[in-house]
């Protein structure tokens, strides 16, 4: 599996597991367990409100949005949109540089 230069293409979880297994020289089953453990740990930390910093790659944190007034697009009537939380990712310098073709 090689680098995908075309925009719009997506890597599936199965393809990511294949790539991890190839880099580690291990089994796909072990790579899948490792990926699941990483994702579960990230989710648990973010749900607790913690910021997860991965130097060079980026950071995950909770973003909070307050309650606001919106409009129903079908009727134009005002509606209340409830406050919500979501996960936010900010790319680190090394990732940004890699995306822009800058090699360290």
Asked whether the beta carbons of 91 and 54 are under 8 A apart, the reply is no
Q: Is residue 60 domain-resident?
A: yes
| Average of per-residue pLDDT across 27-54 | 96
Q: Tell me if 2 is assigned to some domain.
A: no
How much of the chain exceeds pLDDT 90, in percent? Answer: 87
Question: What local confidence, expressed as pLDDT, does residue 51 receive?
Answer: 97
Same domain as 72, residue 84 = yes
Domain of residue 16, residue span: 9-48
Q: Could you report the per-residue pLDDT of 45-93, keeping only the tens digit for each?
A: 999 999 999 999 999 999 999 999 999 999 999 999 999 999 999 999 9
Number of independent structural domains in the chain? 2
pTM for the structure as a whole: 0.73
Q: What is residue 76's predicted lDDT score, i.e. its pLDDT?
A: 93
Q: Evaluate whether residue 98 is within a structural domain.
A: yes
CATH number at residue 86: 4.10.520.10
User: Do 68 and 23 sit in the same domain of this protein?
Assistant: no
Angle, CA 11 vertex, CA 44 and CA 99 arms, to 5°: 90
Which helix (H) or strand (E) segment is 94 a member of?
helix 93-99
Listing DSSP states for 1-64 in one string gives: -----STT----HHHHHHHHHHHHTS-HHHHHHHHHHHHHHHHHHHHTT--EEETTTEEEEEEE
Q: Is the pLDDT of residue 2 over 60?
A: no
Examine the domain organization and report whether 70 and 102 are in the same domain.
yes
């Amino acid at each position: 599996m090689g680098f995908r230069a075309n925009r719009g293409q997506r890597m599936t979880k199965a393809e990511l597991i294949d790539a991890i297994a190839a880099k580690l020289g291990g089994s796909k089953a072990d790579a899948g367990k490792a990926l699941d453990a990483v994702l579960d740990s990230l989710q648990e930390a973010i749900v607790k409100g913690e910021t997860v910093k991965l130097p060079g790659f980026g950071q995950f944190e909770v973003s909070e949005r307050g309650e606001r007034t919106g409009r129903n697009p079908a009727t134009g009537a005002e509606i209340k949109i409830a406050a919500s939380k979501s996960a936010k990712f900010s790319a680190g310098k090394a990732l940004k540089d890699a995306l822009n073709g800058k090699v360290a």
